[in-house]
Copies of this chain bind each other. A is one copy, B any other.
Amino acid sequence: MSPNTEIIRNLGILAGAGALPREVAEACRSAGLSVFVIDLEGAAADWAGGFPHERVSLGQVGRVLSLLEAHGCDAVTMAGSLVRPSLACVRFDRKGLAFLPRVARLFRRGDDGLLVGIAKLFEEEGFRIIGAETLLPKALARVGAMVGEVPDFAEITLGCAILDALAPFDIGQSVVVEQGRCIAIEAAEGTAAMLDRVSMLRQGRERGGILVKMPKYGQDDRLDRPAIGPDTIRAAAKAGLAGVAVEAGGVLILDATETERCAREAALFLYGFER
């Protein structure tokens, strides 16, 4: 962990779904840092039991702030994915209701806009926001071929150019490019659902195509850091892709040993490109 995490008393983890929040919690524990897990709508239910934790629903803003304070948290990290709820379905507590007009405005933004707004809310309440990569510095993708051969740079360059073109609209952390053509763009559905679609589209075809994933240009790196893991590799293999290319230093590789093993087993390349 980086030096500036040493002054954290207790870290609150706002945990959505996926492997990232668990990995953050375990890395913190290994490093001797106390954590308190806020299990958002049960997304972390299958592992939060191993840590001090509480389950909250999304509108319980007051309860979240009280819990963080009661557990001595002075910093917060947001990790894992959440399906954006319909605002009409969220049950707000009193503090939540006070924030409602602001939250309603945030809901009219893209994902980054929403996350930046939520992060600002926590900062105003006196919590530092820590990025997942600060807590998992070794998990950032390395430069070069992590598994397999060095891939076709033309396809990676095309993928990056498309993601850069979309970044101003606050959409897209990944695309699939095959033979110079973009066949899928991730928007609200997430990388896993996009790879499922590619699997259907590519049925019966020979092996080919690359998943390109990187942070949106200009996004706040502390929030919604893109990540891949063993599931991503398995989904890419199922879609018949040739490999996965991620921005070195920009994308987290979760459970790196298992991720690399999956890639070797499926004969996929895993490559960290520099921009």
Contact = CB atoms under 8 A, between A and B. Distances in A.
Interface stretch (A94-102, A138-146, A180-188, A253-261): A180-188
B179 A86 contact: no
A95 B161 CA distance: 37
A169 B162 contact: yes
Contact of A171 (B182, B201, B205): B182
B158 A162 contact: no
A169 B182 contact: yes
Nearest to A86: B205
Nearest to A185: B185
Contact of A182 (B182, B184, B187): B187
B180 A189 contact: no
Integer count of this chain's copies in the complex: 2
A217 to B, nearest CB: 13
Nearest to A172: B185
Contact of A179 (B108, B175, B179): B108
A158 B205 CA distance: 35
Given A162-B171, A169-B165, A193-B197, A110 B187 contact: no
Contact of A187 (B109, B111, B184, B206): B184
19 contacts: A83-B201, A86-B205, A88-B205, A88-B206, A89-B204, A108-B180, A109-B181, A110-B180, A165-B165, A166-B166, A166-B185, A171-B181, A171-B185, A172-B185, A182-B188, A184-B189, A185-B185, A185-B187, A189-B197
Given A89-B204, A171-B185, 15 more contacts: A83-B201, A86-B204, A88-B205, A110-B180, A110-B182, A162-B166, A170-B181, A175-B187, A183-B187, A184-B187, A184-B188, A184-B189, A185-B185, A188-B201, A193-B197
